Amino acid sequence: MWRHIGPAFRLMFAFTILTGFLYPAVVTELCQVFFPRQANGSLIYRHGRVLGSSLIGQNFTSPAYFHPRPSAAGVAGYDPMASGGSNLGPTSRALYERVKADVAQFRAENPGYQGPVPADAVTASASGLDPDISPASAFAQAARVAHARGLSRRQIRHLIRDYTQKRQLGFLGEPRVNVLEINLALDRLAQDRRQ
């Protein structure tokens, strides 16, 4: 077997250079040229400072913002350094109690909403960084946001429709609303009114 070690070592060295350095270097160069925004994390800037990424969810608790899904990333949720899900199984008591509390909170925060709670609104995502909520969850929160901002529900519903991303290519995935983007739009709306 030892006479196989020589070629093994040399080939490993060659493949490390080829696939470990040249390949990622060329891909980096091309991505930076053709897709610079995406390659650097789809960052959102305001007043020249990084506010976040349109792909990475942030936590929102104020009633004047749309709230994201529950998150198991880090202790407080939405910690981009601790991506991951709850990993609680279907018969977990901890899961049951968490969801029960989240349902109660969702009802308390959105007293105007009577329907069943949208499935995504009280379940933690796989990454803990899910940037989206379902349109149903957004509409359920519309009355609260409108009230907190002194806007009409019609305006908020209109905004939700504008910010609903359809299924990609018409059939892939789910329709969704990006929480950070719609909340930024809310802030812009408020700013426009002040001016």
Partner 1 sequence: MTPLGLLNIAVFFLVILALTKPLGAFMAEVFQGERTFLHPLLRPLERLIYRACGVRENSEQRWTQYAASLVAFSLVCFLFVYAFERLQGLLPLNPMGFGTGHAPGGATRMTPDLAFNTAVSFVTNTNWQAYAGEATLSYLVQMAALAVENFVSAAAGVAVALALVRGLARQQSKTLGNFWVDLTRGVVYVFLPLAFVGALVLGSQGVIQNFRQYTRAATLQGSTDVIPQGPVASQEAIKMLGTNGGGFFNANSAHPFENPTPLSNFIETLMIFAVPAGLTYTFGKMIGDTRQGWALLAAMSVLFLFAVFVVYGAEQRGNPILTRLGIERSATARQPGGNMEGKELRFGIADSALFATVTTDASCGAVSSMHDSYTPLGGLVLLFNIELGEVVFGGVGSGLYGMLLFAMIGVFIAGLMVGRTPEYVGKKIEQKEVKMAMLALIIMAANILMFTGVSSVARFSKRGYWNPPGAAAENTANAGPHGFTEILYAYSSANGNNGSAFAGIDANTPWYNVSTGFAILIGRFLFIIPLLAVAGTLVAKRRIPSTSGTLPTHGALFVGVLIGTVVIVGALTFFPALSLGPIVEHFLMVQGKLFPAVALPW
Pick the binder of partner 1 from 18, 112, 152, 193 (CB under 8 A). 18
Q: Which helix (H) or strand (E) holds 43?
A: strand 43-46
Report long-range pairs for 80-85 (Cβ below 8 Å, ≥24 apart).
Answer: 80/56, 80/129, 82/128, 83/127, 83/128, 83/129, 84/126, 84/127, 84/128, 85/124, 85/125, 85/126, 85/127, 85/128
x-or-dash string of contact with partner 1, 44-73, rule CB under 8 A:
-----xxxxx-xxxxxxxx--x---x---x
Binders of partner 1 in range 155-174 (CB under 8 A): 167-169, 171-174
Asked if 127 touches partner 1 (CB under 8 A), the answer is yes
Pick the binder of partner 1 from 66, 71, 77, 78 (CB under 8 A). 78
CB nearer to partner 1: give 70 or 151.
70
Pick the binder of partner 1 from 66, 71, 77, 132 (CB under 8 A). 132
| C-alpha to C-alpha distance for 158 and 148, rounded to whole angstroms | 17
Asked if 34 touches partner 1 (CB under 8 A), the answer is yes
| C-alpha to C-alpha distance for 38 and 31, rounded to whole angstroms | 8
Pick the binder of partner 1 from 48, 90, 111, 150 (CB under 8 A). 90
Q: Report the interhelical angle of 135-149 vs 153-163 (nearest 10°).
A: 140
Asked if 112 touches partner 1 (CB under 8 A), the answer is no
Asked if 151 touches partner 1 (CB under 8 A), the answer is no
Asked if 191 touches partner 1 (CB under 8 A), the answer is no
Asked if 141 touches partner 1 (CB under 8 A), the answer is no
Phi, psi of 108 (to 5 degrees): -70, -35
- Quote the tokens at residue 75: 């202790």
Asked if 190 touches partner 1 (CB under 8 A), the answer is no
Minimum CB–partner distance for residue 90 and partner 1 (Å): 5
